[in-house]
Amino acid sequence: MKPIVYVDILFVINLLVNYILLWTTGKIAKRKASTIRLIIGALIGAIYAVIMFFPAFKIYYTVIAKLLFSMLLIAITYNIEKIKEFFRVLAIFYVVSFTFGGAALGLFYFTNVGAFVGALVSNGVIYFALPWKTLFFSSLIAYIIIRITWHIFYKKICKENMYIPITIMFDSKSICINALIDTGNSLHDPISNSPVIIVEFEAIKDLLPEDIQKIFKEYSENDLNLISKIMDNSVWISRFRLIPFSSLGKENGMLIGFKPDEIEIIEGEEKKDLKDIIVGIYNNKLSKDEKYMALLNPEIIG
């Protein structure tokens, strides 16, 4: 007995799956997309899945057509101007799609959760009855796998390629240092919610006013009463703030931060001039071999 495929169920399931795939792709690729764009992309993907059942649309079954369709899906969902970035997001979309598909099949194989009610292969696509419970758990498992794998990939494998020169400008002065894109740096200024770049005091001291330098040279940057007293008397008080953190070998610590005039980041041949960034001052070494003197929040790079 041939399995029966209900078009409405097929459409709804593909709509949900496509939305999850596009949303996860955006999270991993650090690309923002509005809910409307995600829904439109998911709708187009669901319509395409249904169309592939009709022989009259045979031209859309080819590998080239499927590739062009996935490119169209990314172009509609994400507003990407550069070709290199477009293909990076497209590659991530494929990795996410394959991982989600593998997670669903693996869940069937190991647990028999929602056994196949019927399966049908049409034009290179496998259609089967997918229980909602399986959809939920396979999506959750796939998302966790992707997040962990992506973190390890950037943290371990690509670390050597994650050094970026940055220039910090403050009060008509500037310094240029090497920064490491640190996936563990998710610090934000509690007041403005701006991302924070952590910089060694020795690298940035020449930019700082003398009264702020004294905190690190002669006193303790952990003495909050002293910091408050010095900052109250500083003409730069509006530019400086305290940033709580729980890292760098210390729990419940506090960094003195300031808002520079501008930060210039050079990534390959691209140069970015950023203003809504906070620099956190760390009174210690960040790298034993001095390959870098700053930790860059990945959100800044996008």
Summarised one tens digit per residue, pLDDT across range 42-76 is 898 888 877 776 666 666 667 788 888 889 889 99
- Is 2 domain-assigned? no
**Last residue within a domain, chosen from 125, 157, 189:** 157
When pLDDT is cut at 50, 70 and 90, the band that residue 124 belongs to is: very low
Q: Are 107 and 141 in the same domain?
A: yes
- Is 199 domain-assigned? yes
- Is 49 domain-assigned? yes
pLDDT > 80? residue 273:
yes
Q: What is the mean pLDDT of residues 142-165?
A: 67
Q: 91: which 2 tokens?
A: 């590659």
- Is 177 domain-assigned? yes
Within a 10 A sphere around the Cβ of 225, how many other Cβ atoms? 7
Lowest mean pLDDT of 28-37, 107-116, 128-137, 248-257, name the range.
107-116
Q: Are 219 and 280 in the same domain?
A: yes
Q: Are 175 and 290 in the same domain?
A: yes
Q: Are 191 and 55 in the same domain?
A: no
Q: What is the mean pLDDT of residues 270-293?
A: 84
Q: Are 185 and 77 in the same domain?
A: no
- Is 1 domain-assigned? no
Residue 148: exposure state from Cβ atoms within 10 A (0-12, 13-18, ≥19): exposed
Q: What is the mean pLDDT of residues 264-291?
A: 82
Q: Are 231 and 216 in the same domain?
A: yes
When pLDDT is cut at 50, 70 and 90, the band that residue 120 belongs to is: very low
- Is 265 domain-assigned? yes
**Last residue within a domain, chosen from 136, 157, 178:** 157
**Last residue within a domain, chosen from 109, 142, 157:** 157
Range of the domain at 277: 163-301
Q: How far apart are CA 143 and CA 152, in angstroms?
A: 14
The percentage of residues in the chain with a pLDDT greater than 90, rounded to a whole number, is 6
Within a 10 A sphere around the Cβ of 7, how many other Cβ atoms? 10
Q: Are 172 and 266 in the same domain?
A: yes
Q: Are 77 and 206 in the same domain?
A: no
Q: What is the DSSP code (8-state) at residue 4?
A: P
Q: Are 27 and 100 in the same domain?
A: yes
- Is 291 domain-assigned? yes
Expressed in angstroms, the distance from the first to the final Cα of the chain is: 51
pLDDT > 60? residue 5:
no
Distant-in-sequence, close-in-space partners of 120: CB < 8 Å, separation ≥ 6: 2, 3, 5, 126, 127, 128
Please, are residues 270 and 189 in contact by the beta-carbon 8 Å criterion? no
pLDDT > 60? residue 35:
yes
Q: What is the pLDDT of residue 115?
A: 44
Total tally of structural domains belonging to the chain: 2
When pLDDT is cut at 50, 70 and 90, the band that residue 254 belongs to is: confident
Q: What is the pLDDT of residue 40?
A: 92
Q: Which residue has the higher pLDDT, 92 or 148?
A: 92
Q: Are 78 and 210 in the same domain?
A: no
When pLDDT is cut at 50, 70 and 90, the band that residue 194 belongs to is: confident
When pLDDT is cut at 50, 70 and 90, the band that residue 167 belongs to is: very high
Whether the CA torsion 215, 218, 219, 221 is positive or negative: it is positive
276: Cα separation from own chain's centroid: 18
Q: Are 172 and 146 in the same domain?
A: no
pLDDT > 60? residue 160:
no
Q: What is the pLDDT of residue 171?
A: 82
Q: Are 219 and 118 in the same domain?
A: no
